[in-house]
Structure 1
């Protein structure tokens, strides 16, 4: 379950690197995940959350 946002479920995007010679190799764009302490159901747990969810306030950080 690594590299998945706990809040929105965002996962790595897949595509190609394209060189000037138009050669293509597979690559992945990883989401900007941060390990954050979150309060959920009265307990504190450490989860991976993307920076967009942190900025939007979709999670409640533990003090």
Structure 2
């Protein structure tokens, strides 16, 4: 189960699965979270970050 991005707090959203017969059931859209080692306040920590934050450079990855 995905929780939330530690940078932007992006969480899951809910919606519907819609079948060909137009039946609707609830589903969840989870963010694409990755566990990365990042530099936070000068120290290295392992955080969960969405790929949008990784791609936009909001996270400084540890070497």
TM-score normalised to the size of structure 1?
0.91
Corresponding residue for 1:55? 55
Q: Which residue of 2 aligns with 1:3?
A: 3
Q: CA deviation at 1:43?
A: 1.1
- Residue 17 of structure 1 pairs with residue 17 of structure 2: yes
Measured after TM superposition, the shift of residue 33 of structure 1 is 0.5
CA distance in 2, matches of 1:24, 1:61: 41
Following TM superposition, where does structure 1 have runs of at least 4 consecutive aligned residues deviating by more than 3 angstroms? none
CA drift of 1:57 comes to: 0.3
| Alpha-carbon shift at residue 26 of structure 1 (Å) | 0.3
Pair 1:34 & 2:34 matched? yes
Q: Which residue is equivalent to 1:46?
A: 46
